[in-house]
Amino acid sequence: MSNFWGWFISIITVINIAGCLWLIRWTSKKAPGEEDTTGHVWDGDLKELNNPLPRWWLWTFYLTIAFAVIYLVIFPGMGKFGGTSGWTQVGQYDQEVQAAEAKYGELFARMAATDIETLAMDENALRAGRNLFVNNCAMCHGSDGRGARSFPNLTDSEWMYGGDPSTIELSIMMGRNGVMPAWGPALGADGVAQVTEHVLELNGREHDATLAAAGTEKFAMFCAACHGPQGKGNQALGAPDLTNDIWLHSGSREGIAQTISGGLNNRMPAQGEILGEDRVRVLAAYVYSLSLGGERGTNTE
């Protein structure tokens, strides 16, 4: 924060506190010997009086102002002034992390010494892994791991980068960054339509045979390097299989055409620095367990 904004915040805060104090003092006074009214009159002579606040209520306001002053002396709130206590949200977070590490670190270390396949059958490890999943993964993949549009279903047998234990662990640890180039400028509107129909043909769905035939050569030129000549995908590149009924983004004709034309850029954040190797191992075991008993998910939107 610059010095200007530090002083700006401090001055505004002080003015607000002083203004509240002045307002309470001003409104609590009553002119001697005068009937103080609000000016509102009903039924000819029924007047609304402007009496001071009850003393207990007035002192409650004073106490809140005193609390605000004491708080701003002890804790941050006045620009760059950090308060006399030295408290920071980063420091508190670090303390909580250290406390959690002291309490659970040894437990996760013992679990991490076991292979993922064995952990995937251990109830205690799965309980710990689910807690990690809910706090770090559920916002994208859902609390049940079944994903949503643009977020993979982790309970089926379809894996863009591979579903073996070591690959799952690597994906969580290092993250993934999937890029689908935008082919619209190179193909043009007609070329996008032709490749779309060819993709529908590879998928075994209703398609325009004439356009699909014209799109075969274009698919081989622009798409086969990643998805393969038959559209079966390539886990080494994270290129999805186009022949099944699982669509991460959209499997409609319009959705496929939009993907081909505009491309995609998806990123899964790396969790290694956040969770550490031991917790990643336990989390990977939980994710692996989801696919062992999960039904094959579909999305033919």
- pLDDT reading at 29 higher than 80: no
- Over residues 59-72, the pLDDT tens digits come to 999 999 999 999 99
Q: Do 131 and 123 touch, CB atoms closer than 8 A?
A: no
Between CA 175 and CA 284 the distance in angstroms is 13
Between CA 212 and CA 122 the distance in angstroms is 50
Residue 30: per-residue pLDDT: 63
Residue 298: per-residue pLDDT: 37
Between CA 116 and CA 129 the distance in angstroms is 11
Residue 41 has φ and ψ, to the nearest 5°, of -130, 135
* Chain-centre distance for alpha carbon 8: 32
Between CA 76 and CA 82 the distance in angstroms is 4
The share of the chain scoring above pLDDT 90, in percent, equals: 68
pTM flag (> 0.85): no
Structural domain spans, the chain: 3-74, 90-175+270-293, 179-268
Q: How crowded is the C-beta side of 110, counted as CA atoms within 13 Å? A: 7
Between CA 229 and CA 253 the distance in angstroms is 20
Tell me the average pLDDT across 155-167: 93
Report helix, strand or coil for 15: helix
Residue 25: per-residue pLDDT: 86
Write the burial class of residue 142 (CB in 10 Å: 0-12 exposed, 13-18 middle, 19+ buried): middle
Tell me the average pLDDT across 47-59: 82
Residue 65: per-residue pLDDT: 95
Q: Do 243 and 227 touch, CB atoms closer than 8 A?
A: no
Write the burial class of residue 196 (CB in 10 Å: 0-12 exposed, 13-18 middle, 19+ buried): buried
Tell me the average pLDDT across 11-19: 94
- pLDDT level of residue 118 (50, 70, 90 thresholds): very high
- Rounded-to-10 torsion of CA 290, 251, 241, 268: -50
The share of the chain scoring above pLDDT 70, in percent, equals: 95
- CATH fold for domain 179-268: Cytochrome Bc1 Complex; Chain D, domain 2 (1.10.760)
- Over residues 237-293, the pLDDT tens digits come to 999 999 998 999 989 999 999 999 999 998 999 999 999 999 999 999 999 999 986
- Rounded-to-10 torsion of CA 109, 111, 117, 122: -170
Same fold, 90-175+270-293 and 179-268: yes
Tokens standing for residue 191: 């070329």
Strand partners for 78: 81
Tell me the average pLDDT across 41-66: 85
Q: Do 278 and 112 touch, CB atoms closer than 8 A?
A: yes
Residue 294: per-residue pLDDT: 41
Q: What angle do CA 155, 161, 163 make, to 5 degrees?
A: 40
- pLDDT level of residue 33 (50, 70, 90 thresholds): low
- pLDDT level of residue 34 (50, 70, 90 thresholds): low
Residue 299: per-residue pLDDT: 40
Average pLDDT for the chain: 89
Tell me the average pLDDT across 126-145: 95
Report helix, strand or coil for 163: coil
What does CATH list as the number for 90-175+270-293? 1.10.760.10
